[in-house]
């Protein structure tokens, strides 16, 4: 599995970097799932656009177990305000007995934004994630802006039995998170703070975590993100979590109508 991971990630990078870059982006302001915190915003990527995410996540859990995870993800703006994508989670679990490598199977997802913000209504969206274990996770998303400051509320639940959930990157039984972000440095840097509550399974203790993160626009099509999280409960959640990733936005000329090229 380690060998597969070493081949798959560079291949995706080589293929996508050869495509047509989009015009100047503000992708640093798009909060994607776990990039850099669990909370995401209610807006989809542009129609006909691709977004490739190359992330790394580390968790130091209760006891001596450590998690190293890489989950390449690619999204496509299929329709106006609608994006679809696939995620490929690979992970290594380091324990006292040794290190186990694994692949969680492809995860399909879709996000639809129902509206832009108005004076009386925040932006609202619905996300659906489907694993090959035939489990569906639905997440409702709301975003409200006040100038350079935004507030985001996410609430989701997973349908299906706990027994069938994958060991790698499993969706929680339910999760609620609240995050606030602020744009700095002439709209090239975003800082975000989060408070989250979830239950991994129906019988697991409730996890309460806090997280801080940043997204920085390196180039018009490349964004760097980084984050740190920590549990606030004594018996559940990672003792320490770290994330680091790159997001690349581009377009493929063959998939765009002539007027949009």
Domains along the sequence of the chain with CATH: 2-260 (2.40.160.40)
- Predicted pLDDT at 163: 64
Q: Which of 101, 108, 231, 244 is nearest to 168 (CA)?
A: 101
Q: What is the token pair recorded at 31?
A: 């909060």
**DSSP bridge partners of 81:** none
Torsion of CA 75, 139, 106, 163, to 10 degrees: 180
pTM over 0.75: yes
Three-class DSSP category at 41: coil
Please list, in sequence order, all residues whose beta carbon lies within 8 angstroms of the beta carbon of residue 253, skipping any fewer than 6 positions away. Answer: 20, 261
- Tens-of-pLDDT digits for all 261 residues of the chain? 444 344 444 444 433 444 444 444 568 889 999 999 999 999 999 999 999 999 999 999 766 689 999 999 999 999 999 999 999 999 998 877 778 888 888 999 999 999 999 999 999 999 999 988 778 999 999 999 999 999 999 999 998 766 666 778 888 999 999 999 999 876 689 999 999 999 988 888 999 999 999 999 999 899 999 999 999 988 888 889 999 999 999 998 877 777 665
Task: Please compute, for residue 184, the number of CA atoms within 13 A of its CA located in the half-sphere on the CB side.
Answer: 9
Q: How far apart are CA 163 and CA 236, in angstroms?
A: 19
């Amino acid at each position: 599995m380690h060998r597969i991971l070493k081949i798959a990630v560079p291949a995706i990078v080589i293929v996508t970097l050869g495509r047509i870059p989009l015009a100047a982006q503000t992708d640093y302001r798009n909060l994607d799932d776990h990039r850099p915190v669990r909370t995401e915003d209610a807006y989809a990527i542009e129609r006909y656009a691709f977004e490739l995410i190359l992330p790394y996540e580390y968790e130091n859990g209760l006891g001596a177990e450590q998690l190293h995870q890489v989950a390449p993800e690619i999204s496509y703006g299929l329709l106006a305000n609608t994006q679809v994508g696939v995620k490929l989670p690979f992970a290594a679990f380091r324990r006292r007995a040794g290190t186990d490598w694994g692949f969680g199977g492809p995860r399909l997802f879709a996000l639809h934004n129902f509206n832009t913000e108005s004076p009386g209504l925040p932006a609202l969206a619905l996300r659906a994630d489907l694993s090959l274990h035939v489990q569906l996770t639905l997440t409702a998303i709301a975003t409200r802006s006040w100038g350079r400051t935004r507030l985001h509320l996410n609430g989701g639940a997973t349908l299906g039995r706990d027994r069938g959930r994958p060991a790698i990157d499993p969706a929680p039984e339910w999760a609620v998170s609240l995050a606030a972000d602020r744009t700095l440095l002439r709209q090239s840097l975003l800082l975000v703070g989060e408070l989250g509550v979830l239950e991994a399974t129906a019988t697991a203790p409730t996890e309460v975590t806090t997280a801080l993160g940043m997204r920085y626009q390196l180039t018009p099509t490349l964004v760097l993100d980084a984050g740190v999280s920590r549990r606030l409960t004594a018996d559940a959640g990672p003792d320490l979590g770290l994330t680091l990733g790159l997001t690349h936005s581009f377009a493929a000329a063959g998939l765009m109508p002539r007027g949009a090229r």
